[in-house]
């Protein structure tokens, strides 16, 4: 993108899939709001029209009313994007070219010795059924009491996933303590062992937008304390250790505030009927994040079982 916005500069983004996001000045949080495509001749697919005026890019609705106006450019993480205002809400918005994640990601899993035997096979099977290469899975099992096993890397004989055992336990963040083993992929999807995925997972993940070169992509707002999301291996290498050693309990908020760009998808979660997922006497409530094909199981004790 280049300034000033004029017909000849806008031609550079004609036909591109563009993402409109809400973002407050100086905030690392970007909330994708809509996808638009500018067309030759001044149309905006599925929306209205675009025009340039006095060096600005303006997007009009189907009635010809002004919806968005972009007057400037910014850059973060080496990406240039346009900044402007939403006329209806009088809030700041940005627009950038969408870049799909494709196959450039691995899956890391936070686990614990108390749950690994029951939970991991369910997750591994679902990942394989989705078409994901389970040799690109890294599991970190926390709470290991045997000092001889601490830091040892093994390979699951059935699925090829790497498994590292640690004496520490950072709950949902345990997997991210082993970021040194994540250099093989630029991004890593963090899951809990009490997750599984739908067959659509790999296809849906490949279409996730990383056009802003985000440090973090969260399913929900960081205030909801759901660590599940996509993390840049470069960002983790630079900031994860200092975050965990900071003494702060709100690791997710602390890590997010260190990011230049944290995309928040605000993915909707459907709650499913409670079931005994692992056959251990524990009913679990299922949260389905259908936009990414991820299921998260939350435990409730039944018949004296442990959650």
Quick: pLDDT tens for 53-93: 999 999 999 999 999 999 999 999 999 999 999 998 899 99
Whether the CB-CB separation of 91 and 121 falls below 8 Å is answered with no
Look at the domain 105-264 and name its fold. Spore Coat Polysaccharide Biosynthesis Protein SpsA; Chain A (3.90.550)
Q: Domain ranges for the chain, please list them.
A: 7-97, 105-264
Pick the CATH number of 7-97 from 2.30.29, 3.40.50, 3.10.180, 2.40.128: 2.40.128
The answer to whether the 7-97 and 105-264 domains have the same CATH topology is no
Q: Cβ(281)–Cβ(305) under 8 Å?
A: yes
pLDDT at residue 299 greater than cutoff 90: no
The pLDDT confidence band at residue 301, using thresholds 50, 70 and 90, is very low
Say if residue 239 is preceded by a cis peptide, omega within 30 of 0: no
The pLDDT of residue 303 is above 70: no
Residue 208 confidence (pLDDT) above 80: yes
Q: Decide if 265 contacts 189 (C-beta within 8 A).
A: no
Q: What is the pLDDT of residues 102-119, one digit of tens each?
A: 998 999 999 999 999 999
Q: With pLDDT > 70 as the criterion, what percentage of the chain qualifies?
A: 96
- DSSP strand pairing (137-142 vs 105-112): parallel
Q: Are 72 and 83 in contact (CB under 8 A)?
A: yes
CB atoms within 10 A of CB 20: 22
DSSP characters over 150-183:
TT-EEE-TTT--EEEE-S---GGGGGGGGGGG-T
Does residue 307 have a pLDDT over 50?
A: no
How far is the CA of 237 from the CAs of 125, 176, 178, 182, in angstroms?
A: 29, 9, 9, 9
Tens-place pLDDT, residues 170-182: 889 999 999 999 9
Query: How many residues in the chain?
Result: 307
Q: What is the mean pLDDT of residues 163-174?
A: 92
pLDDT tier, 246 (very low <50, low <70, confident <90, very high otherwise): low
From the list 223, 191, 178, the residue with the least C-alpha distance to 107 is 191
The pair of three-digit structure tokens given for residue 261, joined into one six-digit string: 């760009």
Helix (H, G, I), strand (E, B) or coil at 52: strand
CA distances from 120 to 111, 126, 239, 282, 283 (A): 8, 10, 28, 16, 17
- Put residue 4 in one of left, alpha, beta given phi > 0 → left and psi -120 to 50 → alpha: beta
């Amino acid at each position: 993108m280049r300034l000033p916005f004029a017909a000849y500069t806008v031609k550079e983004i004609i036909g591109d899939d563009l993402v409109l996001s809400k973002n407050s000045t100086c905030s690392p949080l970007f909330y994708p709001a809509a996808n638009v495509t500018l067309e030759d001749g001044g149309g905006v697919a599925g929306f209205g029209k675009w025009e340039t005026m006095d060096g600005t890019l303006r997007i009009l609705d189907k009635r010809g009313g002004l919806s968005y106006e972009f007057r400037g450019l910014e850059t973060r993480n080496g990406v240039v994007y346009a900044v402007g205002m939403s006329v209806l809400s009088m809030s700041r918005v940005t627009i950038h070219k969408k870049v799909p994640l494709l196959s450039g990601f691995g899956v890391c899993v936070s686990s614990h010795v108390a749950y690994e035997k029951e939970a991991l096979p369910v997750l591994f099977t679902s990942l394989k059924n989705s078409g994901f290469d389970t040799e690109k899975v890294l599991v970190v099992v926390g709470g290991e009491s045997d000092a001889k096993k601490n830091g040892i890397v093994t390979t699951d004989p059935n699925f090829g996933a790497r498994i590292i055992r640690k004496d520490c336990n950072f709950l949902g963040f345990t997997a991210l303590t082993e970021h040194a083993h994540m250099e093989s992929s630029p991004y890593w999807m963090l899951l809990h062992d009490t997750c599984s995925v739908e067959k659509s997972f790999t296809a849906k993940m490949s279409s996730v937008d990383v056009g802003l070169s985000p440090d973090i992509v969260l399913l929900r707002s960081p205030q909801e304390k759901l660590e599940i999301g996509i993390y840049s291996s470069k960002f983790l290498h630079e900031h994860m250790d200092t975050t965990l050693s900071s003494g702060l309990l709100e690791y997710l908020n602390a890590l997010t505030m260190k990011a230049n760009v944290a995309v928040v998808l605000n993915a909707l979660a459907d709650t499913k009927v409670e079931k005994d997922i692992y056959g251990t006497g524990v009913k679990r409530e299922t949260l389905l994040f259908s936009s990414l094909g991820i299921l998260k199981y939350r435990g409730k004790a039944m018949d004296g079982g442990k959650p």
